[in-house]
Amino acid sequence: MGTGHGHRLYRHGDTVVHRLPAHTKLVALVLFVLTVVATPREQYWAFGAYLVLLAAVSVAAAVPAGFIARRMVVELPFVAFAILLPFIAHGPRTEFLGLTVSESGLLGGWNILAKATLGVIASILLAATTEPRELLAGMRRLRVPPLLVEITSFMVRYADVVTDEMRRMRIARESRGFQASHLGHLQVVARSAGALFIRSYERGERVHLAMLSRGYTGVMPMLDNRVTPSNAWLVAGAVPLLAALIAATAWSLT
Amino acid sequence: MSSLPSLDVRGLAYAYPDGHQALFGVDLTVEQGERVAVLGPNGAGKTTLVLHLNGILGGGLGTVTVAGVAVVKEQLSEVRRRVGIVFQDPDDQLFMPTVRDDVAFGPANFGVCGVELEARVARALDQVGMAAYADRPPHHLSFGQRRRVAVATVLATEPEILILDEPSSNLDPASRRELADVLRSLDVTILMVTHDLPYALELCDRAVVLSDGVVVADGPTRELLCDDALMRAHRLELPFGFDPRLTGASVS
């Protein structure tokens, strides 16, 4: 705990992108991802154009490529799946890099890989330029159901507390000579997970008591009442708008 | 209003739903502006008592009155505005994404908003010396800082009485002293539940001993701490090398 400022995904800065209100960025992200997903997969150039668009945003936000690349590890399981597809899919075969692979599988793999990568990059850019609490405020402004926002907000707040508790439990386990080396040890780890669950549950109860003590009646008070400048929507909307142009061109060429 | 005691507890008895009886008729009156320590070993019923003071627990015998307002279901909101409880683990109390939002949470629940809300937050943070940390997330603060912010979250509701559950637990000596300075500077009635006897002597002129669910002693803190038989009978031990007869007069 207490390592530096802000969240690990956040990169401190004061750029146009950082200053945009969170809810405009959230809407832009969703629109962008939907546009990318709706683009026909055979129009390869369109995905290159999307990438250029994201690169432009990352330059504007002063987020270096290396920062994004490191955080893209999260995509690896999907990459593995996308690479498998050409080999396991049926249909007519084709030659690719000296291998005989399924044509539809190859296209399907490319489809997943390209669209997922663009989505992940866009999400990383959002997270890098928006603090978690701003995102939560943004969700509230977009009228996401308050219960969902509260659950997310508690998750953001207590993720570190719970991981820290988990780390302390692991250290205590290992200090008594425990090393998870074979499958039988899974039982011990499972018990720790159970204990952690009970602890978190009890903490939940204590947090609730503390909230009641300060007058909580089941509705979160609205603490954020800033006004959104209208040009913020224009700036944030530029990205999905350009993406929509690309998609429209891609469709007209199909 | 000023003549009414801040807190008046009469004949409070309570048994948990599982049958375990924690309180057996507690009587306690705290006058306005007093700082009172509730001393007692673990399991004496201290936390159960605290949870009665703002109506989290209830349904047993006896009454609790806060500056003339009875702690009953119909008046819970008013009672919770008047009674500010600072819980033992600041991580239980601080749950909002930033210090500022957390301090604003209480007063906002009680209908304070706009400029007045901002002023309350600023004042409360200033009182505990944490004004510079308003925009930080709570989990990036040190434990002592989090405890002080927890005090601010309650001060922001401008309570009649401030109740602290084990305020000195887990604090290093410097944070402990800083918190003591903060508490001394506040112009509010304080009830401090603790088994940290030197801390009680340092901050409170008066103390009560809670043992097995009843108040067994009530008097000047120093006198109680010097009563060896009383201390021994209720598992209250002074730390090694600490002699209440030799320390300076408690600072009021």
How many angstroms separate the CA of residue B248 from the nearest CA in chain A? 36
ipTM: 0.81
Cα B246 to its chain centre, rounded Å, is 27
Chain B neighbors of A227, CB-CB under 8 A? none
| 3-class SS of residue B142 | coil
Considering the domain architecture, whether residues A36 and A76 belong to the same structural domain is answered as yes
Q: Which of A154, A203, A213, A217 to mutate to test the interface with B (most CBs of B within 10 A)?
A: A213
pLDDT of residue A224: 67
What residue spans of chain A are helical by DSSP H? 16-19, 22-37, 44-60, 65-71, 76-88, 103-129, 132-141, 146-175, 186-213, 230-253
Q: What is the CATH number of domain B7-233?
A: 3.40.50.300
Chain B neighbors of A213, CB-CB under 8 A? 54, 56, 80, 83-85, 87
pLDDT of residue B251: 47
Considering the domain architecture, whether residues A54 and A156 belong to the same structural domain is answered as no
Check residues A221 and B70 and name the one with the higher pLDDT: B70
Considering the domain architecture, whether residues A181 and A165 belong to the same structural domain is answered as yes
With a cut of 80, say whether residue A1 has pLDDT above it: no
With a cut of 60, say whether residue A73 has pLDDT above it: yes
- Residue A227 carries which DSSP code? P
Considering the domain architecture, whether residues A100 and A67 belong to the same structural domain is answered as yes
pLDDT of residue A6: 52
pLDDT of residue B192: 96
Name the amino acid, one letter, at B131. A
Residues of chain B with pLDDT below 70 are 1-2, 248-252
Mean pLDDT to the nearest integer, A9-37: 91
pLDDT of residue A2: 37
Q: Within a domain: residue A218? A: no
Given the DSSP bridges, would you call strands B206-211 and B189-194 parallel, antiparallel or unpaired?
unpaired
Mean pLDDT to the nearest integer, A170-187: 79
pLDDT of residue B126: 95
Q: Does B77 touch chain A (CB under 8 A)?
A: yes
Total domains, chain A:
2
Check residues A68 and A12 and name the one with the higher pLDDT: A68
**Which tokens is A143 given?**
């009228």
pLDDT of residue B21: 92
Burial class (CB in 10 A: 0-12, 13-18, 19+), A54: buried
Model confidence at A118, pLDDT cuts 50, 70, 90, reads very high
- Residue B97 carries which DSSP code? S
Check residues A225 and A117 and name the one with the higher pLDDT: A117
Q: Which helix (H) or strand (E) holds B81?
A: helix B76-82
Q: Within a domain: residue A179? A: yes
Residues 150-179 of B with CB under 8 A from A: 153-154, 157
CB within 8 Å: B105 and A214: yes
Considering the domain architecture, whether residues A130 and A238 belong to the same structural domain is answered as yes
C-alpha to C-alpha distance for A206 and B165, rounded to whole angstroms: 13
Q: Which helix (H) or strand (E) holds B105?
A: helix B99-109
Q: Within a domain: residue A93? A: yes
Length, in residues, of chain A: 254
* Pick from A169-178, A239-248, B229-238: least confident: A169-178
How many angstroms separate the CA of residue B103 from the nearest CA in chain A? 10
Q: Within a domain: residue A103? A: yes
Q: Within a domain: residue A4? A: no
Considering the domain architecture, whether residues A73 and A171 belong to the same structural domain is answered as no
Q: Within a domain: residue A127? A: yes
With a cut of 90, say whether residue A27 has pLDDT above it: yes
Name the amino acid, one letter, at B8. D
Chain A neighbors of B95, CB-CB under 8 A? 154, 157-158, 207, 210-211
Q: Within a domain: residue A8? A: no
Q: What is the pTM of this model?
A: 0.78
Residues 28-67 of B with CB under 8 A from A: 51, 54, 56
Length, in residues, of chain B: 252
Q: Does A161 touch chain B (CB under 8 A)?
A: yes
CB within 8 Å: B139 and A203: no
Check residues A81 and B86 and name the one with the higher pLDDT: B86
How many angstroms separate the CA of residue A24 from the nearest CA in chain B? 20
pLDDT of residue A136: 87
Burial class (CB in 10 A: 0-12, 13-18, 19+), B151: buried
Q: Which range marks the domain in which residue A62 is found?
A: 16-138+227-253
Closest CA to B230 of B218, B241, B240: B218
Given the DSSP bridges, would you call strands B35-39 and A99-102 parallel, antiparallel or unpaired?
unpaired
CB within 8 Å: A217 and B109: yes
CB within 8 Å: B109 and A158: no
pLDDT of residue A98: 74
Q: What percent of chain A has pLDDT over 90?
A: 36
C-alpha to C-alpha distance for A47 and B38, rounded to whole angstroms: 68
Considering the domain architecture, whether residues A115 and A177 belong to the same structural domain is answered as no
Considering the domain architecture, whether residues A158 and A65 belong to the same structural domain is answered as no
CB within 8 Å: A221 and B104: yes
CB within 8 Å: A214 and B157: yes
Q: Within a domain: residue A209? A: yes
Mean pLDDT to the nearest integer, A85-95: 79
* Pick from A166-170, A219-223, B12-16, B215-219: least confident: A219-223
